Structure 1
Amino acid sequence: MENNGIIRSRAYARAGFVGNPSDGYNGKTISFTFDDFYAETVMYEAPYIELLPNRRDRSIYNSLDDLEQSVRECGYYGGIRLLQASLKRFREYCRKRGVDLGSKGFAMRYFSNIPHHVGMAGSSAIITACFRGLARFYDVDIPRPELANIILSVETDELGIGAGLQDRVAQVYQGLTYMDFNKAKMAQTGYGDYVPLDPSLLPNIYIAFKRELSEGSEVFHNDIRARFNLGERKVVEAMQTWAGLADQVRAALLEGRKNDVGELLNANFDLRRRIYAIHPDNIRMVEAARSTGASAKFTGSGGAIVGTYADDAMFAELKQTLEPLSIAVLKPNII
């Protein structure tokens, strides 16, 4: 434990670099985490279990305008439900494996500055931070592939949120990670092949995101899941193509062909655009970024993009082009 018996645990924002959204369909992806945004839990021993509300969980407002603004920023559901579902799954995991947690209780609060509903895996970051804190508090070791599965089950099974493994694997492993969700291996072992890559292999990378809320990932993923389950040919083939793009980017990185990456990222989005009805604001964001010569694709389900740029002059042009559109631009610090 840290000073005064306090445990602080963090999980960082995630950007789907290439291959997404094939992760939920036995595909392949490459993702990275970056510490510009993070979720954190703080725990300390107590004679009971207490989950302390965050600003996202408040039920008292100064006015109806205040309530409206809160809902626009945080949605209708706060983070307490994420902690509750995480604690339930953690208890079930320990009981199943005969881990005695004793009678020690705790108080827990959480914080997150990850932008809401822009595809940076904010919900799974809170859950991941919670599990890291619980594991340290109770001295429980959970293998990383298994931990990613548990975190996914918190969202899909406990809370009914449509999601894939990419975000959870990325946040559990951290850094830059290649993921292969091979169906046979998943069936045999319960998890895929997760291979850390050296972030120094990457070309110049930027992140840009809308300052206003975007559509939640539940809506996006539930639609594509239904189409995939119905066997819609172009969706099934698209998943295979996205997986192939992940392999192509991995090969380009390992072979030092950084200049080839941007075109592959563009192909990832262009295929997505042919498959989905994408909100015009998201299309404008991608096109505005590409107008500078940079590449651009979604980091997740919309609202944020990731891409490559040639040099500082192009990055400056990205900022000059996107910031007047209420789009923030940054160079991510991969961790």
Structure 2
Amino acid sequence: MIIETHSYPRAAVIGNPSDGYYGKTIAFLFSNFKASVQLYHSPELKIYPQGMDITSFDSIHHLVENVNLKGYYGGIRLLKGAIKVFYEYCERQNIKLDGRNFTIRYHSDIPLRLGLAGSSAIITACMKALMSFYGVDIPRAVMANLVLSVETVELGIAAGLQDRVAQAYEQPVFMDFNKATMDKQGYGNYELLKAENFKNMYIAFRKNLSEGTEVLHNNLRARYNIGEKVVHEAMEKWIGLTDSYRDALHKNDQEAIHDLINQNFDLRRSLVAISDGNIEMVETARSVGASAKFTGSGGAIIGTYADENMFENLKSALAAKEIEVIKPSIVNKKNG
């Protein structure tokens, strides 16, 4: 029997990047793209390489183009890390795994290095496949922590919990990473939200603006750790924006939602350097009246539009700059 599991890209709606700094965020998954893992019983444990793992190139230009779009590392390291962390978790919990081996392969069409959590989607899908194969149940909040540890501990990738929480719960989530709470229970307080409350949202991206999340977080982490006042103040402001957004969401206050999304990006712009291409994306979207902010580390933006006429204007304005625009199909597991 072949086990096949899926996970989806994450869109950070508000509060990012405070999730790695005891902040608050809201995020959802969208199924326009997905990462899939196939796992089945086999005599030996095998991991099959996929498109991100190629080591043969047509030319030096092809190699450089591949690195620019996909980074230096492929997906095999993600699967290896996930398998190791899963095994060690089971050992700590005195969960006995049977002696079966397996073959595992993955596929993902999630655009890479655009702040859409493509790497953690592969890891999450792998964790789900391992849980199914061995009959192990891991609480969702704990699974999110395990997925994060694959990246931060095993692979040395700077990241926060937000992506992994959304991918574990498969529903829009309000996340509070208050330090006292995190220290006490090992994870944050997570409140599930209604997908239907996220109205008139778009996501846009330009693949040649790809940049790994570590570029942002490594810089912020160093500044945060030395106690830079402006960084700590910004984290508090992002917490306030997230609380306000949740209130506006419950009240269906679209004007407030529009303003809060813009404030989230403007605060980020005041704090860290942002490339001209990324600024252009945001400003082009805003030029037709839409709100706009990053979905993650850069290369993709999210925002709201007032009506279909504005959406068409948004598509036209961004298409002129070779930027793709989609309406996200928000994942809502409780409704299947």
Post-superposition Cα deviations, 1:217-241, rounded to whole Å, max 9, x if no partner, equal 1111000000001111111000010
Q: Which of residues 219, 222, 225 is equivalent to 1:226?
A: 222
CA distance in 2, matches of 1:229, 1:274: 19
CA distance in 2, matches of 1:274, 1:88: 40
Structure 1 residues 30-45: aligned runs within 5 Å: 30-45=26-41
User: What letter is aligned with 1:218?
Assistant: E
User: What letter is aligned with 1:334?
Assistant: I
CA distance in 2, matches of 1:276, 1:321: 26
CA distance in 2, matches of 1:69, 1:283: 23
Post-superposition Cα deviations, 1:97-133, rounded to whole Å, max 9, x if no partner, equal 1111111110000011111111000110010000000
**Which residue number corresponds to residue 18 of structure 2?**
22
Q: Which of residues 280, 298, 317 is equivalent to 1:302?
A: 298
Say yes or no: does 1:6 pair with 2:18: no
Structure 1 residues 122-137: aligned runs within 5 Å: 122-137=118-133
User: What letter is aligned with 1:66?
Assistant: H
* SS of equivalent to 1:69: helix
**Which residue number corresponds to residue 190 of structure 1?**
186
Unmatched 5+ residue regions in structure 1?
Answer: none
Say yes or no: does 1:275 pair with 2:271: yes
Percent same amino acid at aligned positions? Answer: 53
Say yes or no: does 1:249 pair with 2:245: yes
* SS of equivalent to 2:283: helix
**Which residue number corresponds to residue 62 of structure 2?**
66
Structure 1 residues 162-201: aligned runs within 5 Å: 162-201=158-197
**Which residue number corresponds to residue 333 of structure 1?**
329
CA distance in 1, matches of 2:77, 2:57: 20
CA contact 1:209–1:304 (8 Å) conserved in 2: yes
Say yes or no: does 1:141 pair with 2:137: yes
RMSD of aligned alpha carbons: 0.9
Q: Which of residues 87, 90, 94 is equivalent to 1:94?
A: 90
Q: Which of residues 257, 262, 271 is equivalent to 1:261?
A: 257
Q: Structure 1 residues 31-40 or 255-264, which shifts more?
A: 255-264
Shift of 1:47: 1.1
Shift of 1:56: 1.0
Q: TM-score, with normalisation over the residues of structure 2? A: 0.97
Say yes or no: does 1:50 pair with 2:46: yes
**Which residue number corresponds to residue 109 of structure 2?**
113
Shift of 1:213: 4.1
Post-superposition Cα deviations, 1:239-274, rounded to whole Å, max 9, x if no partner, equal 010011111010111122233201000000001110
CA distance in 1, matches of 2:110, 2:166: 15
CA contact 1:34–1:175 (8 Å) conserved in 2: no
CA distance in 2, matches of 1:72, 1:272: 24
1:45–1:213: structure 2 CA closer, same or farther, 3 Å change rule? Answer: farther
Say yes or no: does 1:286 pair with 2:276: no
CA distance in 1, matches of 2:63, 2:23: 41
User: What letter is aligned with 2:223?
Assistant: R
CA distance in 2, matches of 1:70, 1:272: 29
CA distance in 2, matches of 1:211, 1:324: 15
User: What letter is aligned with 1:97?
Assistant: Q
* SS of equivalent to 1:53: coil
Unmatched 5+ residue regions in structure 2?
Answer: 332-336
User: What letter is aligned with 1:297?
Assistant: K
User: What letter is aligned with 1:171?
Assistant: Q
CA distance in 2, matches of 1:298, 1:115: 15
CA contact 2:178–2:188 (8 Å) conserved in 1: yes
Q: How many residues align?
A: 331
Shift of 1:65: 3.1
Q: Structure 1 residues 249-258 or 316-325, which shifts more?
A: 249-258
Q: TM-score, with normalisation over the residues of structure 1? A: 0.97
CA distance in 2, matches of 1:213, 1:69: 12
CA distance in 2, matches of 1:25, 1:64: 40
User: What letter is aligned with 2:148?
Assistant: L
